[in-house]
Amino acid sequence: MQPVGHQKWERPFPVRYLIVGEDEDGSELLLGRCAAAEGLFTDPAPPPREVLVLRGCAPGTAVGWLGPAEIVGRTASGFDAWWTLADAEVLAVVPNTDDPALMDVVIGAGVHPADWHRNADGPFVRFELTTRRGAVRATGRTVAGLAVDRPAADPLPLRLVGCEPAEPMRAALRKRRGPHPGYTELWSLDDTGRVMDRRAIGFDVEWTRPSVLGGALVDVLFMVEADGLPGSAARAVWRQWQAGPPRQAGSWRGSGTAAKEAWQTLALHLHRPGPDRSGGEYHLDGGQVEDATGLHCAIGESVNGPGGYYGREWNGLHDCLGGGFGVVPPFTLVWHDFAVTERELDAERDPVTGLGYPEELARELEQRGVTVVRA
């Protein structure tokens, strides 16, 4: 469904959001449009901390902070499973009680709520503790503490203000249940009517009331999954992008990491698939990169221009190098002020290899066919 034609109405305030579902054929269907959304930038509570034990590992794992990480369960058939860890830290490494030649790695982390009930007792041949760079920090035979028996996180209220429901949505509201429980999205529009962002919100309606904006409009309170909201750090970024995509590179500079992640989300949504190109020389400004997320913002803009996307982190960069994001190897990347980037990201240095994140990234690019010139 094209948003053109839906972003204007005869009222003294603009349409900022479209509510979109799907019809019986699976095609996108306009359910309604509205002026504002209260609660969109609410932060979900962080996942509770857990203590995990990866048992039967080879010696060599270092105690220390890992940050974002994963436990990956590997099977002989290739059907692997992932558990996403927030703010992970290796707390201790102790001898395994069954085999003193092996070690048990004790990890403190928040386990993503979507992974709480995933079964870790399946046909796994090994479990790996990996960093966000894809580096394997430890490999064990079993893992304890993953099967977290917790209730699902409570949904959060999202109040859509000044809604003009289309007939399918009016019918659903009359029934007090929606015809699109598995697929309802909130599309956010910029000043030009372009879709900035799409969020799955479901159709769990708490109440509908005459709108505070008057007329025939209504206000609708949805209850939505907390981890589906953009979060408070996205508010300022969305305001930046409200007038349209950035026209100058570096609009993410000076923002916190969470805000840069929100910037990356908008950049990814802006991306449109097209023919890939190879060859050419691209220039990366490494002099004002404040963190690893900012480095990936800079890489995206170096190859795809202001507001450009080329991976939000290590794995995302891998995906982009494989095609579908405008540029594929071989090409040349001139990394200006490489030493400055290394110095700014010194805290990201790998405790095992001793390499900084920029150097690891440069080596990975070179292995994938990119000529990296450290200027």
Model pLDDT for residues 241-268, shown as the tens digit of each residue: 999 999 999 999 999 999 999 999 999 9
Looking at the fold, whether 24 and 124 belong to one and the same domain comes out as no
DSSP label at residue 245 = S
Q: Does 260 reside within a domain?
A: yes
pLDDT digits (tens, 9 = 90+) for 137-149: 999 999 999 877 7
Q: Which residues contact 354 (CB under 8 A, 6 or more apart)?
A: none
Same domain for 247 and 365, yes or no, is: yes
d(CA 169, CA 175): 10
Q: Is the pLDDT of residue 74 over 90?
A: yes
The one-letter code for the residue type at 341 is T
Q: What is the mean pLDDT of residues 16-30?
A: 89
Range of the domain at 175: 17-43+154-228
Task: Give the count of domains, the chain.
Answer: 3
Contact at 8 Å (CB) between 302 and 294? no
Average pLDDT for 347-363: 87
Residue 46: the pLDDT is: 86
Same-domain status, 258 and 349: yes
3-class DSSP state of 165: strand
Which of 228, 252, 269 is where one domain is finished? Answer: 228
d(CA 340, CA 288): 8
Q: What is the pLDDT of residue 5?
A: 72
CATH number of the domain bearing residue 341: 3.30.370.10
Kindly list the distances between the CA atom of residue 204 and the CA atoms of 31, 34, 215, 237, in Å, as whole numbers in the listed order.
14, 17, 25, 28
Return the sign of the alpha-carbon dihedral for residues 339, 343, 346, 348: negative
Amino acid in position 339:
A
Residue 7 lies in a domain: no
Of 174, 199, 228, the position where a domain reaches its end is 228
Q: Are residues 26 and 162 in the same domain?
A: yes
Distance of alpha carbon 208 from alpha carbon 222, whole angstroms: 9
pLDDT for 115 beyond 70 = yes
| Residue 92 CB burial class (10 angstroms; 0-12, 13-18, ≥19) | middle
pLDDT value for 176: 62
Going by pLDDT thresholds of 50, 70 and 90, the confidence category of residue 179 is very low
Q: Are residues 56 and 122 in the same domain?
A: yes
Q: What is the mean pLDDT of the chain?
A: 91
Cα–Cα distance measured from residue 200 to residue 187, given in angstroms and rounded to the nearest whole number: 9
Residue 168 lies in a domain: yes
Task: Express as a percent the part of the chain with pLDDT over 90.
Answer: 72
Is the bond preceding residue 275 a cis peptide, omega within 30 degrees? no
pTM (2 d.p.) = 0.84
List CB contacts of 261: < 8 A, sequence separation 6 or more. 233, 293, 312
Longest C-alpha distance within the chain, in Å?
76
pLDDT at 122: 81
Decide the pairing of beta strands 49-57 and 103-111.
antiparallel
pLDDT at res. 269: 92
pLDDT in tens, 273-293: 889 999 999 999 999 899 999
Whether 226 has a pLDDT exceeding 90, the answer reads: no
Of the pLDDT bands very low, low, confident and very high (cuts 50, 70, 90), residue 178 is: very low
